[in-house]
């Protein structure tokens, strides 16, 4: 059958045709040629302007979605991560010169995962469609060894839950691409190679579950953001005393408004002695007549979307 | 005591059975008859009818020539309009993408060769029939489902970047009208 040549239609018809396509089709169509990419850009500009941010999501399957200002969302690309599924099983797909084929998985049995390359290549290509300043969010919730976080730009918030752990070097690399993030929810960090001046410490709001009690002491020394919520199993009272002294004296933590550490029950750890801490830093109880300041802070990743 | 409705329902049925009819002549001189409700689906034709001042009395004596649409496409268009003339008006869509299910009857009607579909869409665009345009575009959009960019290039006749570049080079190399 002869092709139906999109370029031969009048402009208004081209727009009607593209309006009838889902975003995943539009995205794949934009890869077909530069000229087509330019046509899509001119025809679908209004559609792309409705996008608030791009969500890079890696859970049971990997997906990239456009979340609109009205909280509806559209899939840009989605694939099964544990096997190369469906249409791409025997076909090659190139995005920004990256071959998306058998690389699209988080190997459960092997030790390599390549989803980061796919996310990066999609972002690179999407600059030509959505512009290079579109806000992004990353939501990763997986079990994988050696998982490399994608070096995405313009990330405003992240939810990183990698089992068994995510190492410091991976976080350094991740934050080097998007240093000005507003929010992160972090699970299972092995901070061994985390740089002293890592941008992680400068995030506005951090939530972390520190099962191995490794990142909390670092945060108590270096956190430069506004809000920190930490859950840990162990906490040395000397770290707490040192932190409180530096905060009180304005030596550090100038921007800090709220810091909360929750100690999970753990029979192995030494019990905290609050009296010792109180005595060390001379805590005073506020008079009831003094109004405590009120701070607003983020308590969740803030993804609100529904299928459009 | 039951109250009789002011306008009996039977009147509506009578209108359906005895509609005002218009005559349309295609570019290749085929003559088609179309009811008033059906022709209203085409903004272009209805504007023409109102501007020409055609009425129930003189409509059939004044056939409307449509130079840009041939008989084959006009036949499809008349069938479509007659089929959908009593459809409820579609609500304005506020979000991408337009959500509707393409009815089987229409899918069958639009199961035609790509070249025919192309010509039908041009005719639909000229006659400004939004519903048929939506349906035709859905058919074209559905061709792209589950396809790779490579396959999309074949389906939609999209030249590769290299082909576009070569075309551009040959266009710039060839002498212009004065050369």
Q: Residue B117: pLDDT above 80?
A: yes
Confidence of residue B178 (pLDDT cuts 50, 70, 90): low
Closest listed residue to residue A256, CA positions, set A277, A229, A227 = A227
pLDDT confidence of residue B4? 43
pTM: 0.84
Can you list the domains of chain B with their CATH numbers?
Answer: 17-86+102-169 (3.30.710.10)
Give the residue with greater pLDDT, A148 vs A18: A18
pLDDT confidence of residue A111? 43
Q: Give the whole-angstrom CA distance, residue A74 versus residue A105.
A: 22
Mean confidence (pLDDT) of chain A: 85
**Does the beta-carbon distance from B158 to A33 stay under 8 Å?**
yes
Q: Residue A283: pLDDT above 50?
A: yes
Can you list the domains of chain A with their CATH numbers?
Answer: 10-146 (no CATH), 154-285 (3.80.10)
* C-beta atoms surrounding A199 within 10 Å: 18
pLDDT confidence of residue A277? 84
pLDDT confidence of residue A61? 76
Q: Residue A105: pLDDT above 60?
A: no
Chain A interface includes B95 (CB < 8 A)? yes
Confidence of residue B15 (pLDDT cuts 50, 70, 90): very low
ipTM: 0.84
| Alpha-carbon distance B175 to nearest alpha carbon in chain A (angstroms) | 24
Summarised one tens digit per residue, pLDDT across range B152-161 is 999 999 999 9
Which residue's entry shows tokens 């089709």? A25
pLDDT confidence of residue B5? 40
Tokens encoding A100: 């998306």
Give percent above pLDDT 90 in chain B: 68
pLDDT confidence of residue A94? 75
Closest chain A residue to B147, measured at CA: A87
Q: Among residues 127-146 of chain A, which lie with CB inside 8 Å of chain B?
A: none
Q: Residue B6: pLDDT above 50?
A: no
Taking contacts as CB-CB distances below 8 angstroms, the residues of chain B near A36 are: 158
Summarised one tens digit per residue, pLDDT across range A150-194 is 999 999 999 999 888 888 999 999 999 999 999 999 998 888 888
Q: Residue A240: pLDDT above 50?
A: yes
Taking contacts as CB-CB distances below 8 angstroms, the residues of chain B near A28 are: 144, 147-149, 152
Chain B interface includes A31 (CB < 8 A)? yes
**Does the beta-carbon distance from A91 to B144 stay under 8 Å?**
no
* C-beta atoms surrounding A121 within 10 Å: 18
Taking contacts as CB-CB distances below 8 angstroms, the residues of chain B near A1 are: 113-114
For chain A, how many helices (H) and strands (E)?
9, 12
Contacts of A171 (CB under 8 A, 6+ apart): A149, A189, A191, A194, A198, A200
Q: Give the whole-angstrom CA distance, residue B106 versus residue B101.
A: 10
Asked whether the beta carbons of A229 and A260 are under 8 A apart, the reply is yes
Chain B interface includes A36 (CB < 8 A)? yes
Please name the helix (run of DSSP H) or strand (run of DSSP E) that holds residue A215, with its range, or none: helix A215-222
Taking contacts as CB-CB distances below 8 angstroms, the residues of chain B near A47 are: 96
Q: Give the whole-angstrom CA distance, residue B42 versus residue A247.
A: 73
Q: Among residues 1-20 of chain B, which lie with CB inside 8 Å of chain A?
A: none
Q: Among residues 83-102 of chain A, which lie with CB inside 8 Å of chain B?
A: 86-88, 91-94
Give percent above pLDDT 90 in chain A: 52
Closest chain A residue to B153, measured at CA: A32
Summarised one tens digit per residue, pLDDT across range B123-146 is 999 999 999 999 999 999 999 988
Closest chain A residue to B130, measured at CA: A16
Give the residue with greater pLDDT, A268 vs A123: A123
Alpha-carbon distances, residue A7 vs A3, A36, B152, B155, B164 (angstroms): 11, 8, 13, 12, 12
Chain A interface includes B121 (CB < 8 A)? yes
Q: Residue A115: pLDDT above 80?
A: no
> In this complex, which of A17, A33, A72 lies closest to B164 when CB atoms are compared?
A33
Summarised one tens digit per residue, pLDDT across range A35-91 is 999 999 999 999 999 999 999 998 877 889 999 999 999 999 887 655 444 445 556
Summarised one tens digit per residue, pLDDT across range B57-108 is 898 899 999 999 999 999 999 999 999 999 987 766 555 556 788 999 999 9
Chain A interface includes B131 (CB < 8 A)? no
Chain A interface includes B65 (CB < 8 A)? no
> In this complex, which of B125, B141, B150 lies closest to A21 when CB atoms are compared?
B141
A259 pairs with which residues across the strands?
A228
Alpha helix (H) residue ranges in chain B: 9-17, 36-39, 43-52, 71-84, 104-109, 114-127, 130-142, 149-155, 161-173
Tokens encoding A109: 């049995």
Q: Residue A219: pLDDT above 70?
A: yes
Q: Give the whole-angstrom CA distance, residue B124 versus residue A270.
A: 79
Please name the helix (run of DSSP H) or strand (run of DSSP E) that holds residue A173, with its range, or none: helix A168-177
Confidence of residue A107 (pLDDT cuts 50, 70, 90): very low
Chain A interface includes B160 (CB < 8 A)? yes
Taking contacts as CB-CB distances below 8 angstroms, the residues of chain B near A308 are: 95-97
Q: Give the whole-angstrom CA distance, residue B36 versus residue A81.
A: 56
């Amino acid at each position: 059958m002869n092709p139906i040549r999109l370029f031969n239609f009048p402009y208004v018809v081209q727009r009607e045709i593209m309006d009838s396509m889902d975003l995943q089709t539009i995205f794949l169509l934009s890869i077909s040629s530069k000229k087509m990419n330019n046509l899509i850009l001119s025809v679908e500009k209004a559609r792309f302007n409705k996008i608030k941010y791009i969500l890079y999501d890696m859970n049971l399957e990997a997906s990239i979605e456009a979340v609109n200002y009205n909280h509806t969302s559209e899939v840009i690309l989605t694939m099964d991560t544990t096997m190369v599924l469906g249409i791409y099983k025997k076909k090659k797909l190139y995005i920004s010169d990256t071959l998306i084929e058998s690389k699209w998985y988080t190997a459960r049995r092997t030790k390599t995962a390549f989803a980061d390359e796919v996310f990066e290549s999609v972002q690179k290509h999407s600059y030509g469609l959505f512009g290079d300043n579109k806000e992004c969010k990353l939501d990763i919730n997986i079990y994988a060894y050696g998982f490399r976080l994608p070096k995405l730009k313009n990330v405003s918030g992240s939810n990183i839950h990698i089992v068994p752990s995510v190492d410091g070097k991976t976080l350094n690399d991740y934050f080097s691409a998007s240093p000005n993030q507003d929010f992160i929810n972090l699970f299972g960090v092995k901070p061994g190679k985390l740089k002293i001046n890592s941008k992680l410490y400068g995030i506005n709001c951090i939530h972390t579950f520190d099962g191995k009690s490794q990142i909390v002491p670092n945060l108590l020394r270096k956190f430069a953001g506004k809000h920190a919520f930490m859950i840990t199993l162990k906490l040395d009272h000397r770290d707490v005393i040192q932190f409180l002294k530096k905060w009180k004296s304005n030596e550090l933590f100038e921007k800090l408004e709220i810091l909360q550490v929750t100690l999970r029950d753990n029979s192995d750890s030494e019990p905290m002695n609050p009296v010792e801490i109180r005595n060390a830093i001379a805590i005073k109880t506020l008079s009831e007549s003094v109004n405590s300041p009120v701070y607003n802070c983020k308590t969740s990743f803030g993804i609100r979307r529904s299928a459009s | 005591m039951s109250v009789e409705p002011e306008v009996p329902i039977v009147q509506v049925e009578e209108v359906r059975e005895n509609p005002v009819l218009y005559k349309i002549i295609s570019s290749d001189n085929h003559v088609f008859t179309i009811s008033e409700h059906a022709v209203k689906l085409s903004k272009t034709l209805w504007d023409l009818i109102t501007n020409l001042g055609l009425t129930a009395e003189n409509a059939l004596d004044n056939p409307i020539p449509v130079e840009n649409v041939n008989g084959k496409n006009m036949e499809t268009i008349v069938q479509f309009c007659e089929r959908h003339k009593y459809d409820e008006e579609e609500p304005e869509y506020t979000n991408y993408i337009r959500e509707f299910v393409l009815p089987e009857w229409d899918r069958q009607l639009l199961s035609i060769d790509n070249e025919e579909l192309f010509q039908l869409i041009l005719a639909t665009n000229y006659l400004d029939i939004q519903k048929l345009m939506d349906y035709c575009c859905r058919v074209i959009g559905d061709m792209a489902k589950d396809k790779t960019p490579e396959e999309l290039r074949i389906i939609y006749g999209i030249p590769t970047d290299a082909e576009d570049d070569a075309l551009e080079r040959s266009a710039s190399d060839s002498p212009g009208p004065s050369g």
